[in-house]
Amino acid sequence: MEVWGDSLSPMSGGRYARTRALKEAWQHDRPNFLGISYKDCLSRRRLAEILEPFIGRGTKDAISKPCAEAVEPSLYASKTELLAACRALAAQMPDGIFPADSWLRKRGKHSERPGPTYNSLAVYVTRWFGGTRAMRELLGQASASTTKWTTESIVAAWRAFEMEHGVTPSQCRGRQRAKALPRAIVAEGAKIYGAAQRLGIVEIARNGRATRQTKWTREHVAEQWNKFVMTHDRLPSECMSKMRRQTLPRAVTDEATNIYGAAQRLGLLAELRRNDLE
Protein backbone atom coordinates (compact mmCIF):
# COMPACT_ATOMS: atom_id res chain seq x y z
CA MET A 1 0.00 0.00 0.00
CA GLU A 2 1.22 3.51 -0.84
CA VAL A 3 -0.12 6.62 0.87
CA TRP A 4 0.03 9.56 -1.53
CA GLY A 5 0.74 13.05 -0.26
CA ASP A 6 -0.57 16.35 -1.60
CA SER A 7 0.28 17.42 -5.13
CA LEU A 8 3.57 19.21 -4.45
CA SER A 9 4.40 19.98 -8.08
CA PRO A 10 4.34 23.78 -7.59
CA MET A 11 7.04 23.44 -4.92
CA SER A 12 9.02 20.47 -6.35
CA GLY A 13 8.93 21.54 -9.97
CA GLY A 14 6.85 18.51 -10.90
CA ARG A 15 9.25 15.98 -9.33
CA TYR A 16 6.66 14.56 -6.95
CA ALA A 17 4.08 14.14 -9.71
CA ARG A 18 6.62 12.30 -11.88
CA THR A 19 7.67 10.04 -9.01
CA ARG A 20 4.07 9.14 -8.25
CA ALA A 21 3.34 8.45 -11.93
CA LEU A 22 6.35 6.11 -12.14
CA LYS A 23 5.24 4.22 -9.04
CA GLU A 24 1.68 3.86 -10.32
CA ALA A 25 2.94 2.62 -13.69
CA TRP A 26 5.21 0.07 -12.00
CA GLN A 27 2.37 -1.27 -9.84
CA HIS A 28 -0.50 -1.03 -12.35
CA ASP A 29 -0.76 -4.81 -12.98
CA ARG A 30 -0.57 -5.85 -9.31
CA PRO A 31 -4.08 -6.59 -8.00
CA ASN A 32 -2.92 -6.39 -4.40
CA PHE A 33 -1.45 -2.89 -4.69
CA LEU A 34 -3.45 -0.02 -3.20
CA GLY A 35 -2.64 3.67 -3.49
CA ILE A 36 -4.66 6.07 -1.34
CA SER A 37 -4.57 9.76 -0.48
CA TYR A 38 -3.26 10.69 2.95
CA LYS A 39 -6.49 12.64 3.47
CA ASP A 40 -8.42 9.37 3.40
CA CYS A 41 -6.33 8.20 6.36
CA LEU A 42 -7.71 11.04 8.47
CA SER A 43 -11.19 9.53 8.44
CA ARG A 44 -11.61 6.11 10.04
CA ARG A 45 -14.89 5.60 8.19
CA ARG A 46 -13.42 6.51 4.79
CA LEU A 47 -10.35 4.33 5.40
CA ALA A 48 -12.57 1.36 6.38
CA GLU A 49 -14.51 1.71 3.13
CA ILE A 50 -11.32 1.70 1.06
CA LEU A 51 -9.78 -1.27 2.87
CA GLU A 52 -12.95 -3.40 3.05
CA PRO A 53 -12.41 -5.11 -0.38
CA PHE A 54 -8.94 -6.16 0.78
CA ILE A 55 -9.28 -7.01 4.49
CA GLY A 56 -13.00 -6.98 5.14
CA ARG A 57 -14.99 -4.80 7.49
CA GLY A 58 -13.21 -4.24 10.80
CA THR A 59 -14.92 -4.26 14.17
CA LYS A 60 -14.67 -1.98 17.16
CA ASP A 61 -12.64 -4.66 18.96
CA ALA A 62 -9.94 -4.30 16.30
CA ILE A 63 -8.92 -0.88 17.66
CA SER A 64 -9.75 -1.29 21.33
CA LYS A 65 -6.52 -3.08 22.20
CA PRO A 66 -3.87 -1.37 24.39
CA CYS A 67 -1.73 -0.62 21.31
CA ALA A 68 -4.52 1.58 19.95
CA GLU A 69 -3.71 4.17 22.61
CA ALA A 70 -0.28 4.59 21.02
CA VAL A 71 -1.75 5.08 17.53
CA GLU A 72 -3.04 8.62 17.76
CA PRO A 73 -5.25 8.69 14.60
CA SER A 74 -7.27 5.74 15.93
CA LEU A 75 -8.55 7.94 18.76
CA TYR A 76 -10.53 10.48 16.71
CA ALA A 77 -13.47 9.04 14.81
CA SER A 78 -15.54 12.23 15.07
CA LYS A 79 -15.40 15.89 16.00
CA THR A 80 -17.05 15.04 19.31
CA GLU A 81 -14.21 12.67 20.23
CA LEU A 82 -11.60 15.19 19.12
CA LEU A 83 -13.19 17.99 21.15
CA ALA A 84 -13.22 15.75 24.22
CA ALA A 85 -9.53 14.90 23.69
CA CYS A 86 -8.63 18.59 23.37
CA ARG A 87 -10.57 19.44 26.52
CA ALA A 88 -8.73 16.68 28.39
CA LEU A 89 -5.34 17.88 27.11
CA ALA A 90 -6.10 21.46 28.11
CA ALA A 91 -6.94 20.25 31.62
CA GLN A 92 -3.43 18.79 31.88
CA MET A 93 -1.76 22.12 31.08
CA PRO A 94 -0.46 24.20 34.02
CA ASP A 95 -2.66 27.14 33.02
CA GLY A 96 -5.58 25.00 31.82
CA ILE A 97 -5.31 26.50 28.31
CA PHE A 98 -5.29 24.39 25.16
CA PRO A 99 -1.69 24.61 23.85
CA ALA A 100 -0.51 26.26 20.63
CA ASP A 101 0.21 24.35 17.43
CA SER A 102 3.98 24.73 17.94
CA TRP A 103 3.65 23.09 21.38
CA LEU A 104 1.64 20.20 19.95
CA ARG A 105 4.17 19.60 17.18
CA LYS A 106 7.29 20.30 19.31
CA ARG A 107 8.49 23.12 17.08
CA GLY A 108 10.16 26.48 17.58
CA LYS A 109 10.62 27.38 21.23
CA HIS A 110 8.86 24.16 22.25
CA SER A 111 11.20 21.84 20.31
CA GLU A 112 12.92 20.67 23.50
CA ARG A 113 9.86 20.31 25.70
CA PRO A 114 9.40 16.94 27.44
CA GLY A 115 6.57 14.58 26.61
CA PRO A 116 5.08 13.23 23.37
CA THR A 117 4.23 15.09 20.20
CA TYR A 118 0.62 15.54 19.13
CA ASN A 119 1.05 15.84 15.37
CA SER A 120 -2.15 14.01 14.46
CA LEU A 121 -4.18 15.98 16.97
CA ALA A 122 -2.77 19.21 15.53
CA VAL A 123 -3.73 18.09 12.00
CA TYR A 124 -7.27 17.21 13.09
CA VAL A 125 -7.71 20.47 15.00
CA THR A 126 -6.70 22.46 11.92
CA ARG A 127 -8.70 20.40 9.44
CA TRP A 128 -11.89 19.94 11.43
CA PHE A 129 -12.05 23.12 13.51
CA GLY A 130 -9.76 25.65 11.80
CA GLY A 131 -6.82 25.73 14.22
CA THR A 132 -5.87 26.45 17.81
CA ARG A 133 -7.68 29.78 18.01
CA ALA A 134 -10.99 28.20 16.96
CA MET A 135 -10.48 25.32 19.40
CA ARG A 136 -9.86 27.73 22.27
CA GLU A 137 -13.06 29.56 21.39
CA LEU A 138 -14.99 26.28 21.59
CA LEU A 139 -13.40 25.58 24.97
CA GLY A 140 -14.28 29.05 26.26
CA GLN A 141 -10.63 30.20 26.18
CA ALA A 142 -10.80 32.79 23.39
CA SER A 143 -9.04 35.44 25.50
CA ALA A 144 -5.92 33.26 25.63
CA SER A 145 -5.44 33.64 21.87
CA THR A 146 -4.68 37.37 22.04
CA THR A 147 -1.00 37.72 21.17
CA LYS A 148 0.87 40.78 22.42
CA TRP A 149 3.23 41.43 19.54
CA THR A 150 6.44 43.39 19.99
CA THR A 151 9.14 44.20 17.46
CA GLU A 152 11.36 41.52 18.96
CA SER A 153 8.67 38.82 18.98
CA ILE A 154 7.60 39.59 15.40
CA VAL A 155 11.19 39.44 14.11
CA ALA A 156 11.71 36.13 15.97
CA ALA A 157 8.44 34.70 14.63
CA TRP A 158 9.32 35.88 11.09
CA ARG A 159 12.74 34.20 11.23
CA ALA A 160 11.33 30.98 12.75
CA PHE A 161 8.61 30.82 10.09
CA GLU A 162 11.11 31.28 7.26
CA MET A 163 13.46 28.62 8.65
CA GLU A 164 10.65 26.11 9.18
CA HIS A 165 8.72 26.56 5.93
CA GLY A 166 11.35 27.87 3.50
CA VAL A 167 9.30 30.97 2.64
CA THR A 168 8.72 34.29 4.36
CA PRO A 169 5.32 35.43 5.66
CA SER A 170 5.19 38.05 2.89
CA GLN A 171 5.88 35.42 0.21
CA CYS A 172 2.87 33.42 1.43
CA ARG A 173 0.64 36.27 0.27
CA GLY A 174 1.27 35.48 -3.39
CA ARG A 175 -1.55 33.65 -5.16
CA GLN A 176 0.63 30.78 -6.39
CA ARG A 177 2.22 30.15 -2.99
CA ALA A 178 -1.15 30.37 -1.26
CA LYS A 179 -2.45 27.59 -3.51
CA ALA A 180 0.63 25.39 -3.06
CA LEU A 181 0.97 25.64 0.74
CA PRO A 182 -1.36 24.16 3.37
CA ARG A 183 -4.02 26.57 4.59
CA ALA A 184 -2.69 26.50 8.16
CA ILE A 185 0.77 27.67 7.03
CA VAL A 186 -0.68 30.46 4.88
CA ALA A 187 -2.82 31.58 7.83
CA GLU A 188 0.19 31.57 10.16
CA GLY A 189 2.21 33.64 7.68
CA ALA A 190 -0.67 36.10 7.29
CA LYS A 191 -0.89 36.50 11.06
CA ILE A 192 2.81 37.35 11.38
CA TYR A 193 2.78 39.68 8.36
CA GLY A 194 -0.35 41.44 9.65
CA ALA A 195 1.25 42.05 13.03
CA ALA A 196 4.40 43.46 11.37
CA GLN A 197 2.28 45.68 9.15
CA ARG A 198 0.23 47.04 12.06
CA LEU A 199 3.41 48.03 13.91
CA GLY A 200 5.02 49.39 10.74
CA ILE A 201 8.04 47.08 10.95
CA VAL A 202 7.72 44.96 7.81
CA GLU A 203 11.15 46.13 6.59
CA ILE A 204 12.69 45.38 9.98
CA ALA A 205 11.20 41.90 9.96
CA ARG A 206 12.46 41.28 6.42
CA ASN A 207 15.97 42.62 6.79
CA GLY A 208 16.54 43.00 10.51
CA ARG A 209 16.87 46.78 10.12
CA ALA A 210 14.67 49.70 9.13
CA THR A 211 16.22 50.62 5.79
CA ARG A 212 13.56 53.15 4.93
CA GLN A 213 14.25 55.04 8.17
CA THR A 214 17.89 55.69 7.23
CA LYS A 215 18.64 59.38 6.82
CA TRP A 216 20.59 59.63 3.58
CA THR A 217 22.88 62.66 3.44
CA ARG A 218 25.43 63.30 0.69
CA GLU A 219 28.24 62.28 3.02
CA HIS A 220 26.45 59.12 4.16
CA VAL A 221 25.64 58.08 0.60
CA ALA A 222 29.26 58.50 -0.49
CA GLU A 223 30.44 56.55 2.55
CA GLN A 224 28.03 53.67 1.93
CA TRP A 225 28.78 53.62 -1.81
CA ASN A 226 32.52 53.30 -1.21
CA LYS A 227 31.99 50.72 1.52
CA PHE A 228 29.83 48.63 -0.81
CA VAL A 229 32.43 48.75 -3.59
CA MET A 230 35.20 47.74 -1.16
CA THR A 231 33.13 44.86 0.24
CA HIS A 232 31.65 43.41 -2.95
CA ASP A 233 34.18 44.56 -5.58
CA ARG A 234 31.44 45.97 -7.80
CA LEU A 235 29.32 49.11 -8.03
CA PRO A 236 25.82 49.17 -6.53
CA SER A 237 24.49 49.85 -10.05
CA GLU A 238 26.02 46.56 -11.19
CA CYS A 239 23.94 44.55 -8.69
CA MET A 240 20.45 45.60 -9.66
CA SER A 241 19.75 43.74 -12.90
CA LYS A 242 17.36 40.78 -13.04
CA MET A 243 20.24 38.40 -13.66
CA ARG A 244 22.20 39.71 -10.65
CA ARG A 245 19.14 39.36 -8.43
CA GLN A 246 18.98 35.69 -9.34
CA THR A 247 22.63 35.03 -8.46
CA LEU A 248 23.39 37.39 -5.55
CA PRO A 249 21.96 37.20 -2.02
CA ARG A 250 18.86 39.30 -1.52
CA ALA A 251 20.52 41.30 1.26
CA VAL A 252 23.25 42.42 -1.19
CA THR A 253 20.88 43.43 -3.98
CA ASP A 254 18.59 45.24 -1.53
CA GLU A 255 21.56 47.16 -0.10
CA ALA A 256 22.70 48.10 -3.62
CA THR A 257 19.21 49.30 -4.54
CA ASN A 258 18.94 51.47 -1.41
CA ILE A 259 22.34 53.11 -1.97
CA TYR A 260 21.74 53.65 -5.69
CA GLY A 261 18.30 55.14 -5.06
CA ALA A 262 19.65 57.57 -2.47
CA ALA A 263 22.51 58.61 -4.77
CA GLN A 264 20.07 59.18 -7.61
CA ARG A 265 17.75 61.30 -5.45
CA LEU A 266 20.64 63.48 -4.31
CA GLY A 267 22.14 63.81 -7.82
CA LEU A 268 25.40 62.05 -6.84
CA LEU A 269 25.54 59.23 -9.40
CA ALA A 270 27.85 60.93 -11.89
CA GLU A 271 30.25 62.10 -9.16
CA LEU A 272 30.42 58.69 -7.45
CA ARG A 273 30.98 56.87 -10.74
CA ARG A 274 33.69 59.35 -11.74
CA ASN A 275 35.49 58.81 -8.44
CA ASP A 276 35.41 55.05 -8.99
CA LEU A 277 36.95 55.43 -12.44
CA GLU A 278 39.74 57.56 -11.03
Q: Would you state the pLDDT for residue 185? A: 84
Q: What CA–CA distance (Å, rounded) separates 227 from 229?
A: 5
Q: Would you state the pLDDT for residue 7? A: 64
Question: 229 versus 143: which is more confidently predicted?
Answer: 229
In a domain, 1, yes or no: yes
* Position 212 pLDDT exceeds 50: no
* Whether residue 140 is found in the same domain as residue 154: no
Q: In terms of residues, how long is the chain?
A: 278
How far lies 15's CA from each of 20, 29, 179, 246, in Å? Answer: 9, 23, 17, 22
For the chain, the domain total comes to: 4
Query: For residue 46, what are the contacts with CB-CB under 8 A and spacing of at least 6?
Result: 40
In a domain, 52, yes or no: yes
The last residue of a domain, from among 145, 173, 193: 145
Q: Would you state the pLDDT for residue 71? A: 46
In a domain, 138, yes or no: yes
* Position 229 pLDDT exceeds 50: yes
Q: Would you state the pLDDT for residue 218? A: 86
Q: Would you state the pLDDT for residue 66? A: 46
In a domain, 64, yes or no: no
Q: What is the mean pLDDT of residues 51-60?
A: 73
The last residue of a domain, from among 145, 171, 186: 145
The last residue of a domain, from among 207, 236, 254: 207
C-beta of residue 98 within 8 angstroms of C-beta of residue 86: yes
* Position 272 pLDDT exceeds 60: yes
* Whether residue 203 is found in the same domain as residue 255: no
Q: Would you state the pLDDT for residue 44? A: 72
Q: What CA–CA distance (Å, rounded) separates 252 from 233?
A: 12
C-beta of residue 214 within 8 angstroms of C-beta of residue 266: no
Average predicted confidence (pLDDT) for the chain: 79
- For residue 161, the enclosing domain spans 147-207
Question: 14 versus 236: which is more confidently predicted?
Answer: 236
Q: What is the mean pLDDT of residues 118-127?
A: 86
CA-wise closest residue to 203 among 244, 258, 148: 258
